[in-house]
């Protein structure tokens, strides 16, 4: 041991003990870690359907509201289900994202029920964990169909006479159940967006439409608004991400 270090550790008579060798080592070991942390790049993956995708989803607006040290990889696709993007998830995980936000439901409800959907979400969470990442499950953003009384009317049919395999509320409840079962953060985007649009009303909500009559996809204004809802909830659900979110 260095003589100067010995002198530092030795306390004069009738004075409190000075720093222990262990304290010195611990303090020294923490300094380079604290200095390196700000420069670390954090990667957030987004996977889901067209309501998240770069075409007319909220994903691009989300990506525009992260810090310079944060990278967003949006692999959501138009028409996608949790089944159809399974291989896409595997490709994304090769990039070792720190977090993956999962939002499906709009197309799943057209093809199968909530049990299949739940099994697919479980598989996603397991694979994300195996790759060293952290999953965050979101329920689907609502469609903007309104009743005459100004409240959101969930879609229940693919077309007249052809029922869906459950409405978005049921799929949202299934997503929440998987999140609780797997102990991962959950954002109830369905309920949050329903409340948001019912507060706005049909006329103001129409500004969110990608084009006239399109009550599913988003204009730039709509994408920004939904991304803001996601970011606000994410700061609470995953506090460690808050420094990476600028909005």
Q: Where are the domains of the chain?
A: 42-244
- The per-residue pLDDT for 31 is 35
Of 153, 154, 139, 144, the closest CA to residue 218 belongs to 144
Burial of 225 (0-12, 13-18, 19+ CB in 10 A): buried
Q: Cα angle at 239 between 74 and 87, to 5 degrees?
A: 30
For 95-121, the pLDDT digits (tens) are 999 999 999 999 999 999 999 999 999
CA quadruple 107, 109, 112, 116: dihedral sign:
positive
Q: Does 3.40.50.620 match the CATH number of domain 42-244? A: no
> What is the model's pTM?
0.84
Q: Which residues of the chain have pLDDT under 50?
A: 1-11, 15-36
For tokens 């936000």, the residue is 101
């Amino acid at each position: 041991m260095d003589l100067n270090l010995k002198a530092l550790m030795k306390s004069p008579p009738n004075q409190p003990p000075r720093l222990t060798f262990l304290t010195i080592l611990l303090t020294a070991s923490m300094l380079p870690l604290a200095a390196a942390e700000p420069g670390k790049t954090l990667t957030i993956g987004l996977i889901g359907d067209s309501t998240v995708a770069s075409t007319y989803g909220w994903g691009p607006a989300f990506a525009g509201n992260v810090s310079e040290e944060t990278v967003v990889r949006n692999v959501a696709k138009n028409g996608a289900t949790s089944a159809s993007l399974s291989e896409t998830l595997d490709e994304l995980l090769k990039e070792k994202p720190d977090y993956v936000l999962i939002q499906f439901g709009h197309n799943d409800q057209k093809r199968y029920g909530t049990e299949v959907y739940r099994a697919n979400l479980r598989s996603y969470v397991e694979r994300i964990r195996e790759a060293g990442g952290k999953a965050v499950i979101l329920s689907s953003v609502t469609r903007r169909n309104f009743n005459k009384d100004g409240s959101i009317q969930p879609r229940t049919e693919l077309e007249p006479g052809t029922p869906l395999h459950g409405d978005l509320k049921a799929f949202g409840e299934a997503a929440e159940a998987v999140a609780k079962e797997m102990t991962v953060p959950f954002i109830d985007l369905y309920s949050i967006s329903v409340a948001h649009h019912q507060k706005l009303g049909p006329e103001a909500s129409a500004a969110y439409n990608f084009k006239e009559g399109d009550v599913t996809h988003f204009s730039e204004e709509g994408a920004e608004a939904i991304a803001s809802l996601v970011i606000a909830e994410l700061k609470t659900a995953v506090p460690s991400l808050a420094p990476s979110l600028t909005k």
